[in-house]
Amino acid sequence: MKTDDGLPASASGHGHCDATEERLPTVRSSSRAPYSTLIIPLTSITDRLEPEELFSRPQPLEVELGSGDGTFIAQYAQRFPDRNFLAVERLLGRLRKIDRKGLRAGLANLRLVRIEASYLLDYLLPRESVHALHVYFPDPWPKRKHRKNRLVNARFTELAAQALRPGGTVYLRTDDQDYFAQMTAVFAANSEFLLAESPADLAGIITDFEKDFREKGFATLRSAYQRR
Query: Cα separation of 146 and 112, whole Å?
Result: 28
Spatial neighbors of 86 by CB under 8 A, at least 6 apart, are 51, 54, 61, 62, 63, 64, 110, 111, 112, 113
**Catalytic one of 139, 175, 176, 208:** 139
The total number of residues written for the chain in this structure: 228
**Domain-embedded: residue 137:** yes
**Domain-embedded: residue 209:** yes
**Domain-embedded: residue 149:** yes
Domain that holds residue 209: 13-227
**Domain-embedded: residue 1:** no
- pLDDT per residue over 117-160, tens digit each? 999 999 999 999 999 999 999 999 999 999 999 999 999 999 99
Does the annotation count 201 as an active-site position?
no
**Domain-embedded: residue 8:** no
Query: Cα separation of 95 and 77, whole Å?
Result: 15
- pLDDT per residue over 91-113, tens digit each? 999 999 999 999 999 999 999 99
- pLDDT per residue over 7-63, tens digit each? 444 344 454 333 233 333 332 333 344 568 999 999 898 999 999 999 999 999 999
**Domain-embedded: residue 58:** yes
**Domain-embedded: residue 96:** yes
Q: Measure Cα distances from 73 to 7, 62, 146, 159 in Å.
A: 23, 10, 28, 22
- pLDDT per residue over 204-217, tens digit each? 999 888 988 889 88
220 with 226: CB under 8 angstroms?
no
State how many domains the chain has.
1
CATH number at residue 21: 3.40.50.150
DSSP state of 39: B
**Domain-embedded: residue 2:** no
